[in-house]
Structure 1
């Protein structure tokens, strides 16, 4: 039961009753949401201001007419016009009790919706170069993308989780050269790893595996051939390592797409370029020097260019390098055309902070290859500063000085890692403080939320002990007299529970899973606050042996809180423990 959706329907129906000429597009702009100041009521709508101008009326005049209609609504205790034409509603207690009943009936489904209407969405995230294990710099995007995919699936989208494997280009050759050195080491040679190679110990097993399979025979092959053999072995091992690292955070992709499939004769890049030429989107021309480049360090030459400016980019983009090979952007265009041809009209790419300049060019690419049918949202995850002893770690995959994803998970656990990385907007930089994450206090957000769920479970154990014989099975809770819950504390908590479906929908539309983390933290705080009030006011205790009916009603409220916290943590990929040690 979504009271915001319910009243949106009632408001639009009221508008149409007076003004049947209003169109669906206009009415789609009508929203019902919580007022900025809770003192103004439970719900607020902009309806009068949306339709006033097309109707040629003053917004307050339209609002006053709507107010008169809602005065007869039994679910409303008061309705009034505010400011330039907002309408504020105060809800009657019985409809709040209906919300509580609905949570008990819908359980895991409470908050789920058909917002997405089954539309296919491709969420591409992580896509780290397979040249080593996952480090903490990859972790935020991995967690964000996974939670966003879960959020959209929860909201009725058909979601595909995709990983783009950058398995071509210069960095993979360096990986092969580095692995070949480890192969020589496995054969007994003393090696020195040159600057620019990958020195991490994670390549030692690759070298040993090559030695076991090939013996010394790779030494007899031309170096280029040996490097390619070593590269293939290293890439396969690194992808298995990456999948294993991600599994520690319960992250699993549906599709692993190899960049290599886009290259080669007849590959998707050439096919895409041919199609772009046919459509007039590619031309031979000169690019201006990028900002900061001088005539001395910029070679002006005729290039194969994509008309990116026609699709909203700042400049046209080169597709072929001076040596005849394709640019990274040419592969990007082909890859996103491939997504579109696979049936995805909605795409989300999760990229690191160093890719902020890619947003407009990717949007231009998707608009071009789909001829305006598809859209893409590029979400940038800002840097995470990992603190230890007050000093940030420095990370460099090539130097071997890594702070691994597995190190973080081993230190604080998957739940804390996921929740803390989601407890902030993805586009804001953040500090990950080990000291805070490991505390069992209210200052630790993940502990605070999980403790609320555990406390709710504990209250049921207390009821079993203090009110022997009380039936609080699921059918009994469904029939509890929740009408007994009339205190300000009861109703405040129910109002917050009622906001859950709207919170989920708004988060899904905005592609902002941090809203879910914020909500469950707010709900946990309200629940802990209610529990604390019961220590001073016995009438607010969740378990009261002298009043079994009120106890059962309160247990229905506790069960609803427990359920919604579990639903929220499920979207975030965080467990909801029944006990905390």
Structure 2
């Protein structure tokens, strides 16, 4: 229906910020080599990275560069004089440059330049927004990584939405990204899961037996036990006879459930890494990955045996344990990796896991963790740094989610509480499709992405299901559907042939007549830079704000800029406005489906 919507990308999208920054960098180089920047030598000039901003007031241009202000001390010149010098070296056809008070360089994009960028947008279609980066990296992004002991809770849903969107952002901005889920399928929690299922089965068989207090109390285990007994009765499978069999059965069902839930939330993973792999002996060496890891750390001089970490006095009765020198990597104290009885700590498995990541050849590792893992930051940096000083580790710590819904009796917002082990928590499945509180996949993802990771989310369940423009999901969806409906009408009823060729007037101007036209175009052309900024800042929520801004600008344009009456009155202006509708539809589609993982309805 829409031209070039599936066209393969032939070149990266133009980042206007990088384009202008490159022009200013070249002007600085030329001016420095000509000796026109005072005491600033060419080597110093080469290190300057120009900053490009969008002014809050359009009177100051479409873009602005405050870099001359920061150069004043090094140049020993007034910022205005520096800006004037740089302006004389700028080679920017079809872009007007001005020196503003204080030393700002302001840029106003000319119509021929804007026409080329609009034509690029329409030509690239679903690939508009994708850029190349000067420093591409191979990145492993680990997120969610829940215990396979129950359904995912809403906090896991937030990390799923954030992680999958961040992966999209990094890929669209030129990086090679792989997504990984670390399955915590070893340790005491797995024994508790198996024991909990066994007790539920025995209870259903009529046995008077209590569920241990530290077991998993969720009703999902009762349902699992019921299914198991039905399968046994039907001859589909035998009843487990050992704890290990109960563990494996419960583990398999829980992991399959979690995978299904994540797929429902449109979250996919390239790798599912089982912790059990780290505990399994290598057939050649007879050593597990954890044992090999500690052996290598000892060879590198990072382990020691003591009754207390360095700098602390042993406590009475303390036994000798193996410590990892995490202090050398910024941790507040050294950590135990092997206890006096020979058993390994959880940290030992984490170190082995990150050693495995390093050995797989990634240049950057990104872990998304909840705020209850803040104490792990120093330890994980040590786990990576001990094996490779070159691999970069980022740990993104996020806050949790609170759900609120109006109490029908009091009319007041009340919190719908979560409590993971009591079985009373609200699961991610509940948030998506529960008859009473479910909001659907699109609204779930939108609101889970709506705030920066370091801010808690107060999720308004009532707002998320409202079918009014108060609900931002509805507003943005409606804007995309409005574009599609208008374009369909133009093609089917008015017999308009959509074109990607942007035509200027004889005076080399875009035929726009209203300020809303140019404002909308500038907003749409900013997509590559919006994606770059959100990726670099690890801030998916910024794309939520961008989508809302597009919707607002488009609806202002739609309300103030007629199209249908102009098909005969002014065909050139009509075509220009139709192309803005085409471009809006394309950018919203790319943002919704390519980045945020939402649907893009064509009618509402």
TM-score by length of 1: 0.89
Whole-angstrom CA distance in 1 between matches of 2:133 and 2:403: 37
Which residue of 456, 467, 474 corresponds with 1:429? 456
Whole-angstrom CA distance in 2 between matches of 1:102 and 1:82: 34
1:74 equivalent to 2:93? Answer yes
Paired residue secondary structure (1:484): coil
Whole-angstrom CA distance in 2 between matches of 1:542 and 1:313: 69
Contact 2:516 2:556 in 1 (8 A): no
1:186-225 C-alpha deviation (Å, 9 max, x unpaired): 545354323221122322454343772774672xxxxxxx
1:485 equivalent to 2:507? Answer no
Which residue of 92, 98, 105 corresponds with 2:110? 92
Contact 1:287 1:316 in 2 (8 A): no
1:273 equivalent to 2:286? Answer no
Which residue of 201, 204, 210 corresponds with 2:219? 201
Whole-angstrom CA distance in 2 between matches of 1:454 and 1:287: 65
Instruction: Describe the shift of the 1:217–1:432 C-alpha distance in structure 2 as closer, same or farther (beyond 3 A).
Output: closer
- Equivalent runs, 1:142-157 vs 2, <5 Å: 142-157=160-175
1:438-466 C-alpha deviation (Å, 9 max, x unpaired): 11222211111111111111222343477
Partner of 2:391: 374
Segments of structure 2 that go 5 or more residues without pairing to the other structure are 1-13, 34-40, 282-286, 408-412
Q: What is the deviation of 1:558? A: 0.8
Contact 2:31 2:86 in 1 (8 A): no
Which residue of 422, 428, 436 corresponds with 1:405? 428
Whole-angstrom CA distance in 1 between matches of 2:45 and 2:331: 29
Instruction: Describe the shift of the 1:288–1:334 C-alpha distance in structure 2 as closer, same or farther (beyond 3 A).
Output: closer
Instruction: Describe the shift of the 1:176–1:490 C-alpha distance in structure 2 as closer, same or farther (beyond 3 A).
Output: same
Q: What is the deviation of 1:249? A: 0.7
Partner of 2:20: 7
Whole-angstrom CA distance in 1 between matches of 2:197 and 2:252: 12
1:64 equivalent to 2:81? Answer no
Q: What is the deviation of 1:282? A: 1.8
Q: What is the deviation of 1:28? A: 6.0
Whole-angstrom CA distance in 1 between matches of 2:276 and 2:574: 63
Whole-angstrom CA distance in 2 between matches of 1:366 and 1:332: 10
Contact 2:219 2:423 in 1 (8 A): yes
Contact 1:436 1:444 in 2 (8 A): yes
Whole-angstrom CA distance in 2 between matches of 1:289 and 1:392: 45
Instruction: Describe the shift of the 1:58–1:336 C-alpha distance in structure 2 as closer, same or farther (beyond 3 A).
Output: farther
Whole-angstrom CA distance in 2 between matches of 1:511 and 1:67: 34
Instruction: Describe the shift of the 1:160–1:28 C-alpha distance in structure 2 as closer, same or farther (beyond 3 A).
Output: farther
Paired residue secondary structure (1:427): coil
- Equivalent runs, 1:379-390 vs 2, <5 Å: 379-388=396-405, 389=407, 390=413
Paired residue secondary structure (1:163): strand
Contact 2:62 2:106 in 1 (8 A): yes
Which residue of 108, 129, 133 corresponds with 1:115? 133
Whole-angstrom CA distance in 2 between matches of 1:557 and 1:92: 17
Whole-angstrom CA distance in 1 between matches of 2:239 and 2:119: 72
Whole-angstrom CA distance in 1 between matches of 2:181 and 2:569: 58
Partner of 1:131: 149
1:234-291 C-alpha deviation (Å, 9 max, x unpaired): 1111100100111111112111111111125412211111111111222234546999
Instruction: Describe the shift of the 1:65–1:356 C-alpha distance in structure 2 as closer, same or farther (beyond 3 A).
Output: same
Partner of 1:520: 547
Contact 1:82 1:88 in 2 (8 A): no
Paired residue secondary structure (2:390): coil
Q: What is the deviation of 1:45? A: 2.0
Whole-angstrom CA distance in 1 between matches of 2:43 and 2:487: 51
Whole-angstrom CA distance in 2 between matches of 1:217 and 1:469: 68
Paired residue secondary structure (2:386): helix
1:307-340 C-alpha deviation (Å, 9 max, x unpaired): 2221122222221234321111121111111001
Whole-angstrom CA distance in 2 between matches of 1:452 and 1:203: 44
Q: What is the deviation of 1:131? A: 0.2
Whole-angstrom CA distance in 2 between matches of 1:174 and 1:290: 37
- Equivalent runs, 1:540-555 vs 2, <5 Å: 544-555=567-578
Whole-angstrom CA distance in 2 between matches of 1:183 and 1:76: 74
Paired residue secondary structure (1:436): helix
- Equivalent runs, 1:177-256 vs 2, <5 Å: 177-185=195-203, 187-204=205-222, 206-207=224-225, 208-209=227-228, 212=232, 215=238, 218=241, 226-256=242-272
Paired residue secondary structure (2:510): helix
Instruction: Describe the shift of the 1:564–1:283 C-alpha distance in structure 2 as closer, same or farther (beyond 3 A).
Output: same
Contact 2:310 2:334 in 1 (8 A): no
CA RMSD of aligned residues (A): 2.8
Whole-angstrom CA distance in 1 between matches of 2:581 and 2:565: 8
- Equivalent runs, 1:436-475 vs 2, <5 Å: 436-464=463-491, 468-472=494-498
Partner of 1:30: 50
Q: Which of 199-208 and 254-263 deviates more? A: 199-208
Whole-angstrom CA distance in 1 between matches of 2:189 and 2:329: 31
Which residue of 25, 42, 58 corresponds with 2:62? 42
1:306 equivalent to 2:324? Answer yes
Instruction: Describe the shift of the 1:133–1:69 C-alpha distance in structure 2 as closer, same or farther (beyond 3 A).
Output: same
1:37-69 C-alpha deviation (Å, 9 max, x unpaired): 444221122443555555565544332201223
Whole-angstrom CA distance in 1 between matches of 2:53 and 2:240: 70
Partner of 1:17: 30
